[in-house]
Chains A and B, each alone.
Chain A
């Protein structure tokens, strides 16, 4: 069981391998946290400190997830800001951005305020993403300026794609004026139709309606062009297809305010894994073919995809334990993230650990304009300490979310979070 306690006045993380994703350097050393702030990084001698032996462990910046669903307000039976925070700490995340598809949706300055106030009491930093259009209906702009003042960090209609290209252009123009990133769930709704999994050999075999890769490809392409047209910042969420990777790669050569994320589940699974109609693998965008997975890995390597985000989406057992057509879309992902991405990217694909850590720390922080240099003295301590080699089986007992809809249960993962420091709390996992 994870233990969560207030940090001691002085706490020394000793003999770890410090990985600094800003300097892109790794070295043996210690990190001293005093009163919840970074007091020293390097070789530290100090008395009267609680000492935590970090030999064999990596000490780095706290992870930052640009894409989570904490379900508050409205579906507190699935997750709350509080329970979501615990799941985040267990996964090494100290900072998350919550999507606005709650009930009611977060589409006004008042509702942003609600999240902002509630988040203050939580042991991690939570930043609300505001809806881009009222009621997430894709028609009228929300009061983005007022929402920004109250703490909105970006704008998105989340799972509901903004289908009308004219509206998307206005959202980008208006959000761009406020210097806030715009995130659009990139799927052409008409092409997606009623697809519940990737369209391909597997959907044909299983008799399930398919969602073609082109549904994502054409929408990403449109959004990229509109971003260039408007000069706005566009963040492409959960890239799942080879064509989308190609479009992002091409546009980044031309226009710089583009960022993109990939989820652990799109890196880990392929549509072949759906052979038993496992509803925990029903997700939007769908788990794709192996060639798409390979393209995501390649795009991550090349830097076209710069962030890892979980799209942590809790659902009740009742909503998942049903037939495939009616089961809800989405899976939780915070607790299993590190073990999944280290396994695939570092251990299987031999990508260097620094690149993966950057995609979990400095890169997402840059997208949102958060402080990035977390090892600077006197910064509020956000630390993640993990064993990069430990092979372990992910079980229900590793889940701290209120929901347990994870296809990673029973899977062997590599890399395990041991300690997370956030907002003067120490989580021992």
Chain B
């Protein structure tokens, strides 16, 4: 099994069969994670560097765990402790790291397009772990893996993505991935946080959360970034919660029991009520586990690992 593209930079234009391959492979790694010894030798001898130009906790830990479970050697780089602070350019930083002979780079960077730029500077396989407000493909793949696990299909599945779509790489990657896999996607959030021309990607837009809940099989509830409030993108938490907050009361008004996802970190009591986050409908912790399995699948497939 292998994938058609050498890197994983984004899900725009990413082939459906490759997404399916990754999801299927993720399920085989899920079994590994349930064993007492959670380690396989698939990527023994491979060196992977995690380039984090932006802070991250869960994505970084998830990638590191995936790499360790596959027996790869890993090196971590973080912008806050690096020579970037001494004025070294992005190009010099990454070329220096590549000169140390590595097989793959996992990159998180605040700028859209940074992962693509990296492929111009290094020969290693590049995996985008989030480039600014552009894409976060591994998150979308773990979200789709979780949906697939829950429903057994993606084609025709109705998924609502709720919240700050404009500043969300999670939303954009989910949109591309879900549309490619034949799901129906509706975005819902304040008009100030819905990017212009987004309908051209094949999604619907709604400002009425109750209608979306009524329609959807699953909701992916995005984190609302409090700093957006100050630049008048929305007036207050109170108003946001009353218009778009996912609460037990709201969910109880609908007969169909829908699945609730959140990419984390959550603002409990803002975009999602604690009772919902901890409730039966939520698969938020499954997403975390599937994150490790999906990233194992991606690394394994891109680095041509051997089966045990």
Contacts and interface: CB of A to CB of B under 8 A. Distances in A.
Interface string A169-193: 0000000000000000000000000
Interface stretch (B71-79, B139-147, B194-202): B194-202
Interface stretch (B59-67, B109-117, B267-275): B109-117
Contacts of B131: 207
Given A199-B196, A200-B196, A323-B117, A208 B91 contact: no
A323 B198 contact: no
Given A277-B116, A323-B90, A207 B172 contact: yes
The number of chain A residues touching the other chain, given as a range, is 20 to 34
Nearest to A207: B134
A210 B89 contact: no
Given A207-B135, A210-B196, A277 B201 contact: no
B84 to A, nearest CB: 12
A209 B113 CA distance: 12
A324 B197 contact: no
Contacts of B169: 207
Given A206-B134, A207-B131, A326-B111, A277 B12 contact: no
B112 A208 contact: yes
Contacts of B89: 318, 321-322
B133 interface: yes
Contact of A325 (B132, B135, B198, B200): B132
A315 B196 CA distance: 31
B133 A205 contact: no
A277 B172 contact: no
B196 A207 contact: no
A204 to B, nearest CB: 4
A139 to B, nearest CB: 25
A201 interface: yes
Interface in B251-293: none
Nearest to A210: B196
Interface string A321-338: 111111000000000000
Interface in B135-172: 135, 169, 172
A208 B196 CA distance: 12
B103 to A, nearest CB: 24
Contacts of B172: 204-205, 207
Nearest to B109: A323
B90 A324 contact: no
A400 B270 CA distance: 58
A321 B132 contact: no
Interface in A259-305: 276-277
Contact of A204 (B90, B109, B201): B201
Nearest to B196: A199
A323 B198 CA distance: 24
Interface string B42-64: 00000000000000000000000
B196 A323 contact: no
Contacts, number: 62
Contact of B197 (A201, A321, A323, A325): A201
A315 to B, nearest CB: 15
Given A199-B196, A323-B111, A277 B132 contact: no
Contacts of B134: 206-208
Contacts of B90: 322-323
Contacts of B197: 200-201, 204
B132 A207 contact: yes
A210 B133 CA distance: 12
Contact of A206 (B109, B110, B112, B196): B112
A194 to B, nearest CB: 10
B113 A204 contact: no
Given A204-B201, A207-B172, A208-B112, A277 B195 contact: no
Given A205-B12, A207-B134, A323 B200 contact: no
A321 B134 CA distance: 19
A206 B13 CA distance: 13
Contacts of A277: 112-113, 116-117
A410 to B, nearest CB: 15
Contacts of A200: 196-197
Interface in A324-379: 324-326
A276 B131 CA distance: 14
A321 B112 contact: no
Interface in B187-216: 195-198, 200-201
A210 B196 CA distance: 9
Interface string B1-39: 000000000001000000000000000000000000000
Contact of B113 (A212, A321, A323): A323
B92 to A, nearest CB: 11
Contacts of A206: 112-113, 134
A201 B203 CA distance: 13
B9 to A, nearest CB: 11
Contacts of B195: 203-204
Interface string A299-321: 00000000000000000001001
Interface string A382-421: 0000000000000000000000000000000000000000
A280 to B, nearest CB: 13
A103 to B, nearest CB: 20
Contacts of A212: 196
Given A207-B133, A207-B169, A276-B116, A325 B111 contact: yes
A205 B132 CA distance: 12
A207 B135 CA distance: 8
Nearest to A212: B196
A326 B53 CA distance: 15
A209 to B, nearest CB: 8
12 contacts: A203-B195, A203-B196, A204-B196, A206-B112, A207-B132, A207-B172, A208-B113, A208-B133, A212-B196, A277-B113, A322-B90, A325-B110
* 4 interchain residue pairs of minimum CB distance: A207-B134, A277-B113, A323-B111, A207-B112
Given A200-B197, A204-B201, 9 more contacts: A200-B196, A201-B200, A205-B172, A206-B112, A207-B135, A276-B116, A277-B117, A318-B89, A322-B90
